[in-house]
Structures are given as structure tokens and as C-alpha cells.
Amino acid sequence: MEYILSIVSGISLAAACGFRVFVPLLILSIASMSGLSELTTDEQWIASTPALITFAVATIFEIIAYYVPWLDNIFDTIATPLAAVAGVLTMSTLLTDVNPILGWTLAVITGGGAAISVQLLTVKGRAISSGITAGFGNFILSTGELVLSVFVSVIAIILPVIALLIVLIVIFFIVRRIYSSRNKVTSVV
């Protein structure tokens, strides 16, 4: 059962990387340093003070970048591949006592897949928002993404199954909202 919970927690944290790349890594670092999360032997560095400081500084820069109207769209091009890497890392970090081949396969497919899927949805949402509001409404999206990333990351450590359900519900609503906005834009044009 613990194996399944670590997979669910990893998928949830990876999905949170799609909202913000560094927030889940920062929260995972804090959780592992406080003993709330067990890491694989190879990824113990995440529970170090230098890693914590690095993730904190990167999180601050990422948050600031998403609140600047033109910089948020530029940062999406950088954050998209980074989200996939962060998703793979968070997933692989939590797969303790797993055969390395199976662990890395799960990490790449599920962790990377979850992170990139959520990231692409947020990019699409930001593009629609930029088109409708000339980028000035993106701060609302940025705030929502930040809150979701923090919330899902914390819940993924404490209640992984609930976190996964939250991620699935949020993805459903994001997809629904994107398509309803898309239909409104095409009906106006």
C-alpha cells in the first residue's frame, strides 16, 4: 500500500510542477528535511540546506516572473521543459524500494506526463487570457496557479489520494474552461 501511495504522491507533486516548477520541489525539500517524506537514496540531496535555499530562490524568481505581463508568456517557454524535468524528478524521488528500471519508467511516463500535461494546459489558458485581456488578466491565472501548486504539493505529502483527486478535478475544469472560452472567441469572430 505504501508503494501505491508513493506513486500517487509522486503523480500529484509532478502535476503541481505543471502549475509552478519549483514550488513542489521546495515543499518536497521542506517535507523531507522535517521527516514527513521519505526520499530515495540517490535523491537525498533534496533534503539538504543548499537544495532548500536553491529551490526557495528559484521559487521567488518564478513567482515574480509570472506577475509581469509580457514576461509570463516568455517564461512559459522556459518552464514547459523544466516542468517535465521537475515532474520526473519529483516522481523518481518518492519511489523508494522500487526496481530502478521500473522507477525511472514510472517517473518519465507518469511524472513527466502529469507535469507537462498540466503545464500545457496553463500555457493554453494564459494564451487565451493574453488574447482576451492583452495580458493584464494573467495575474489572476498566476495567482490561481501558485495557490494550486502550493495546495496540491502540501496535500500530496499529507493526503496523496486527495491531492490526486484535486488535480483531476482541476484539470477537468481547466479543460472545460479552455474549450468554453475557445467557443466564445470563435463565435464572436
Closest CA to 145 of 161, 117, 126, 164: 126
Closest CA to 66 of 24, 125, 7, 108: 125
pLDDT attached to residue 137: 82
* DSSP code of residue 37: S
Count structural domains, the chain. 1
pLDDT attached to residue 183: 66
- The answer to whether 88 touches 97, Cβ cutoff 8 Å, is no
pLDDT attached to residue 132: 86
Contacts of 60 (CB under 8 A, 6+ apart): none
- Cβ atoms < 10 Å from Cβ of 127: 14
Closest CA to 17 of 153, 115, 143: 115
pLDDT per residue rounded down to tens, the chain (189 residues): 677 888 899 999 999 999 999 999 999 999 999 999 888 888 899 999 999 999 999 999 999 998 887 788 788 889 999 999 999 999 999 888 888 899 899 999 999 999 999 999 888 888 888 888 887 788 898 999 999 999 999 999 999 899 989 989 988 888 887 777 666 655 545
- For residue 112, give its domain range: 2-188
Tracing cell 505529502 back to the chain, one arrives at 157
Burial class of residue 99 (count of CB atoms within 10 Å of its CB; 0-12, 13-18, 19+) = exposed
Amino acid at residue number 45: W
Tracing cell 491531492 back to the chain, one arrives at 163
Question: 35 in helix, strand or coil?
Answer: coil
- The answer to whether 155 touches 35, Cβ cutoff 8 Å, is no
pLDDT attached to residue 5: 87
